[in-house]
A and B are shown apart, each in its own frame.
Chain A
Amino acid sequence: MVYLPPPGTSRDRPSYSDAYAKILKAHRESPLTSASSVIMLVAPDVDALCAARMMAGLFRQDDVIYRIMPISGIAELERVRDELMTYNELHTLILFNMGGILDLPSAEWFGEFRTEVSVHIIDSARPQNLSSLFGGGENGERIIVWDDGGAERLLEERKAWEALMYEPEPDSDDEESNYDSEDEYDEDLDEEEEFEEGSSEGRKRRSLGDGNRRGKRRRTMEDRPHRMSREERDAHMARLEKHYMTGTWHGQSASGTIYILATLLERSDINLLWFAILGLTFQYTTSRISRDKYDDYQSIYSDEVLRLSPPPPVGEQSITSINPDDHGIRTTDELRFMLYRHWTLYDAMFHSSYIAGKLGIWKERGRRKLTGLLAKMGFSIPQTQQPYPHMDMDLKRSLVQKLDDIAPEYGLIELSYPSFTKFYGYRSQPLSAADAVEGVSALLDLAGGVKMEVEVEGSRNGGEWFGGGKLWEVHGLVAKTKWTIEEDRENIRPGGQPTTVATNVEKAEGGEDDDHTVKKEAAWWIHNFWVAFDALADIEALRHSLNLSMTLHRAIIRQGTSIIDKQDIRTMRNHRVVVLTQGPDLALFSHPGVLSRLALWLVDALRDKLPGKVVSTRTKRKSLPFVVACLNESSSSYIVVGVMAATDFGDVRKNEFGLAFLDAKERCNARTRHSSFDTSILEINQADLPVFLETLCEGSGY
């Protein structure tokens, strides 16, 4: 209920540090404190991972024992919630990047918990559920939403929500109770009015309370019982609908919120800042926030970098560590190529969605254009085929400059954006924020579960004898055989093709029961989560994961180019659909994370080729709605991902597919399941897909 505004807005409102102090106090004073007193539920995305890591660090410094549980989706959350009900020593629950949209004070979620349990929600997804924000009473007081200032602007929605909550039905007979409740409401309104001096005199307010400022006067004045008329009720309902139905978007990152907390506690340091930067970069590179918002936050963080990190030397040394203890961060310009410092320049440009779109990489002509561009910049072909660290130094230095000069001729503008790089002393080469985010998200999606072959450096052009690849294994671990896999080593094709042998189907055991399959599947993403969590702090593991990320990108390109080549995109009335039913990488794309990346890649690649459509009825802005579905053979279902992209690079639109999917599902009675916290990702039974896609078209406005 209590929503915490960001600190600095007003002194007397509780802020993040008060909530944190409350957690500490509960931990220290409760007699039953044990390892399960403070539990953090973490969603499987990079931002939540970073935020959890930061919070864990803060807790460790304060000697608070905590527990982290990864949660993949709403179903999992329900299951865990039932389990948590039985914990007697639990007194704090913290949710990262989940639960913002859920009605938490209700009995379905946390209403049934004991009153000592407080629930903190640090979620970047918007819109937030209004009962969680504004719910009152003892039940609602336990739910604390850590907000970034957006809830302050929801005044009208708050009034509407409260009006609908507390006001009885328009044609209720009981005038007495009507009167009383109306008085209560007026008192509330009074307090609000005193509080919100100068706020707009809304039409609703005037109709409800005559704009009066004194409750006493009103009590004596009013003889007629005041009921909410039908129009007012409808107006409130419309307001609430508008709040929920405009689509989903993202606010401040969870890790950014925790960084603000650390600053308030005066415990911010370079590592916490790095995690906050990773969370922000993740939001930008996955198109969750627009370029403008990214620039705002980036400038704040670069000020912090100047404050916390030793000043960088100018000139040559700015790209290497100055001394073995240099663990600082510096601002750099990041190019839009994927992981360009870790493979050849040609590959990096080839695999980036922006360039792919502008030059048309999937055609031979486009590839020639790319080599032409590189030649114009003065990079010879052998040079561009060299891994980046082996390229000539002067070419590397002039790269950004030449790109700025020559690339606009090909229509490539805005190739760089400001970002950060972290140094690791003499232990390792510096790593940029974008690369780190790529590595960690590759680990989250793929560390276990699908066997991926990564290319061994130097294996191109006939370097190795038996194929160019070796199986990727988690750094530092012997390959565990807890998944009984059908090893197919004899038949691995040479040349670095990933073998996607189905791993989480236990053919060897012949297990029939559902439980067994479910347990095996659950194991892999929990394993991924912990591998990624560990990698956040371990530079060696992170570097190791970059290989995995490169293989993933190669697979995405392969699939994307084949889709565009075969012209597999069907254009419906208001959106475009791609259905994947076959291909070498099918098992890979049945993971929702990977599939969303493919969708984003397609959108970026086709942004200029396809005209935007005016989809939403509320705003007249054009956008590019895209739906991608992939068949998951093992569970005979389709994973469907909906992406609403903006027509300009660097802009975002609110994603209305969550609602559209729900709508279509109800109308055609499809058997579906939401497997993650993102409402625009959906799992649907194989047989229901065609009907579902049709209903999606007919849907209101879609």
Chain B
Amino acid sequence: MSLPYSLRTSITPPELELIATQQLIEIIPLIAIEKTAFISGAFGPLQPPRKAKIPLWMAINLKLRKKCHIVAPEWLSVEFLQSRLDEEINEPGFSKLPFRYAEISKVLLDVASDDIQNTDKIRSLLKDLREARQAKSREGLDQINRGELSVSNLCSMEINEIRPFFVHAMGILTHLHREASTEDQL
């Protein structure tokens, strides 16, 4: 891999984005395409004005060439994100969000901002969500112990963020624990 050494320990965000764009999303096509076979599967046929589900990468491609309109997923709306944000602030655990919400929302806001309502409010809500969750995961990292750790509802970007530190820290903790237990035995 051609990345600098420090970045090789985890996946980079653009790669995560690429993985996320494999998810299916609903579109309203403007042109007709027959059922076509791609490497990841066969999609289509696209018949305007009927809605169809195609992978996000294909939807982005068509949208950039003005050949479709993207239907925003229900979670990318002000009400949903606002309720999740309230939950996040008031409760100690992480609220349930789509696993790859960060990547998908970034891509959709870049490409299809005209298909989404209230984009500036959504951007600010997403930012708030990220900050709230980041604060919680920082607190959580303080309390790592060697025992079992279960955290639910972390999303892929957040997992990716803490993975290098987390793995390294757990490794050292295990090492210390093993030394401590061998010392005990001695």
Give chain A's interface residues, CB within 8 Å of chain B. Answer: 60-62, 267, 269, 323-325
What residue of chain A has the Cβ atom nearest to residue B119's Cβ? A325
Q: Shortest Cβ distance from A628 into chain B, in angstroms?
A: 46
| B65 pairs with A323, CB closer than 8 A | no
A sample of 16 cross-chain residue pairs with beta-carbon separation below 8 angstroms, ordered by A number, consists of A60-B65, A61-B65, A61-B66, A61-B67, A62-B65, A267-B66, A269-B66, A323-B119, A323-B120, A324-B119, A324-B120, A324-B123, A325-B113, A325-B114, A325-B119, A325-B120
Q: Shortest Cβ distance from B59 into chain A, in angstroms?
A: 15
Q: Shortest Cβ distance from A325 into chain B, in angstroms?
A: 4
Measured between beta carbons, the chain A residues less than 8 angstroms from B114 are 325
Measured between beta carbons, the chain A residues less than 8 angstroms from B113 are 325
Q: Shortest Cβ distance from B33 into chain A, in angstroms?
A: 13
What residue of chain B has the Cβ atom nearest to residue A270's Cβ? B114
* Bound-complex Cα distance A269 to B114 (A): 12
* Bound-complex Cα distance A61 to B123 (A): 29
* Bound-complex Cα distance A324 to B120 (A): 7
The 3 closest A-B pairs by CB, nearest first: A323-B120, A61-B65, A325-B113
* Bound-complex Cα distance A325 to B113 (A): 7
What residue of chain A has the Cβ atom nearest to residue B110's Cβ? A325
What residue of chain A has the Cβ atom nearest to residue B30's Cβ? A266
Measured between beta carbons, the chain B residues less than 8 angstroms from A324 are 119-120, 123
Q: Shortest Cβ distance from B24 into chain A, in angstroms?
A: 24
Interface residues of B in 58-110 (CB under 8 A from A): 65-67
Known: A61-B66, A323-B120, A325-B113. 9 other contacts (CB 8 A): A60-B65, A61-B65, A62-B65, A323-B119, A324-B119, A324-B120, A324-B123, A325-B114, A325-B120
Q: Shortest Cβ distance from A579 into chain B, in angstroms?
A: 53
Give chain B's interface residues, CB within 8 Å of chain A. Answer: 65-67, 113-114, 119-120, 123
* Bound-complex Cα distance A62 to B113 (A): 22
Measured between beta carbons, the chain B residues less than 8 angstroms from A267 are 66
What residue of chain A has the Cβ atom nearest to residue B121's Cβ? A323
Measured between beta carbons, the chain B residues less than 8 angstroms from A61 are 65-67
What residue of chain B has the Cβ atom nearest to residue A269's Cβ? B66
Measured between beta carbons, the chain A residues less than 8 angstroms from B123 are 324
* Bound-complex Cα distance A660 to B120 (A): 60
* Bound-complex Cα distance A685 to B46 (A): 65
* Bound-complex Cα distance A473 to B17 (A): 36
User: Chain B's interface: helix, strand, loop or mixed, by majority?
Assistant: helix
* Bound-complex Cα distance A269 to B64 (A): 12
* Bound-complex Cα distance A267 to B31 (A): 12
Measured between beta carbons, the chain A residues less than 8 angstroms from B66 are 61, 267, 269
Measured between beta carbons, the chain A residues less than 8 angstroms from B65 are 60-62
What residue of chain B has the Cβ atom nearest to residue A60's Cβ? B65
Q: Shortest Cβ distance from A268 into chain B, in angstroms?
A: 10
Q: Shortest Cβ distance from B110 into chain A, in angstroms?
A: 10
* Bound-complex Cα distance A323 to B121 (A): 10
Measured between beta carbons, the chain B residues less than 8 angstroms from A60 are 65
* Bound-complex Cα distance A280 to B123 (A): 37
* Bound-complex Cα distance A267 to B120 (A): 26
Measured between beta carbons, the chain A residues less than 8 angstroms from B120 are 323-325
Q: Shortest Cβ distance from B123 into chain A, in angstroms?
A: 7
Q: Shortest Cβ distance from B27 into chain A, in angstroms?
A: 17
* Bound-complex Cα distance A608 to B23 (A): 69
Measured between beta carbons, the chain B residues less than 8 angstroms from A269 are 66
* Bound-complex Cα distance A323 to B119 (A): 8
* Bound-complex Cα distance A154 to B123 (A): 58
* Bound-complex Cα distance A648 to B140 (A): 77
What residue of chain A has the Cβ atom nearest to residue B113's Cβ? A325
Q: Shortest Cβ distance from A258 into chain B, in angstroms?
A: 16
What residue of chain A has the Cβ atom nearest to residue B118's Cβ? A323
* Bound-complex Cα distance A324 to B110 (A): 11
Q: Shortest Cβ distance from B105 into chain A, in angstroms?
A: 14
What residue of chain B has the Cβ atom nearest to residue A323's Cβ? B120
What residue of chain A has the Cβ atom nearest to residue B120's Cβ? A323
Q: Shortest Cβ distance from B102 into chain A, in angstroms?
A: 18
Measured between beta carbons, the chain B residues less than 8 angstroms from A323 are 119-120
* Bound-complex Cα distance A269 to B123 (A): 24
* Bound-complex Cα distance A267 to B65 (A): 10
* Bound-complex Cα distance A323 to B120 (A): 6
Q: Shortest Cβ distance from B70 into chain A, in angstroms?
A: 15
* Bound-complex Cα distance A355 to B65 (A): 46
What residue of chain B has the Cβ atom nearest to residue A325's Cβ? B113
Q: Shortest Cβ distance from B79 into chain A, in angstroms?
A: 19
Q: Shortest Cβ distance from A326 into chain B, in angstroms?
A: 9
Q: Shortest Cβ distance from A235 into chain B, in angstroms?
A: 53
Q: Shortest Cβ distance from B85 into chain A, in angstroms?
A: 19
Measured between beta carbons, the chain A residues less than 8 angstroms from B119 are 323-325
* Bound-complex Cα distance A61 to B65 (A): 5
* Bound-complex Cα distance A216 to B114 (A): 64
Q: Shortest Cβ distance from A267 into chain B, in angstroms?
A: 6
Q: Shortest Cβ distance from B107 into chain A, in angstroms?
A: 15
What residue of chain A has the Cβ atom nearest to residue B67's Cβ? A61
What residue of chain B has the Cβ atom nearest to residue A426's Cβ? B120
What residue of chain B has the Cβ atom nearest to residue A326's Cβ? B120
* Bound-complex Cα distance A473 to B29 (A): 45
* Bound-complex Cα distance A62 to B114 (A): 22
Q: Shortest Cβ distance from A558 into chain B, in angstroms?
A: 46
Measured between beta carbons, the chain B residues less than 8 angstroms from A325 are 113-114, 119-120
Q: Shortest Cβ distance from A81 into chain B, in angstroms?
A: 33
What residue of chain A has the Cβ atom nearest to residue B109's Cβ? A325
Q: Shortest Cβ distance from A458 into chain B, in angstroms?
A: 33
* Bound-complex Cα distance A200 to B119 (A): 60
Q: Shortest Cβ distance from A97 into chain B, in angstroms?
A: 26
* Bound-complex Cα distance A324 to B118 (A): 11
Q: Shortest Cβ distance from A588 into chain B, in angstroms?
A: 42
* Bound-complex Cα distance A581 to B94 (A): 78
* Bound-complex Cα distance A269 to B65 (A): 12
Q: Shortest Cβ distance from B63 into chain A, in angstroms?
A: 11
What residue of chain B has the Cβ atom nearest to residue A267's Cβ? B66
What residue of chain B has the Cβ atom nearest to residue A62's Cβ? B65
* Bound-complex Cα distance A60 to B113 (A): 21
Q: Shortest Cβ distance from B114 into chain A, in angstroms?
A: 8
- Max chain B C-beta neighbours (<10 A), residue from A60, A62, A269, A325: A325
* Bound-complex Cα distance A60 to B64 (A): 10
* Bound-complex Cα distance A585 to B162 (A): 62
What residue of chain B has the Cβ atom nearest to residue A324's Cβ? B120
* Bound-complex Cα distance A597 to B65 (A): 39
Q: Shortest Cβ distance from B78 into chain A, in angstroms?
A: 13
* Bound-complex Cα distance A678 to B65 (A): 36
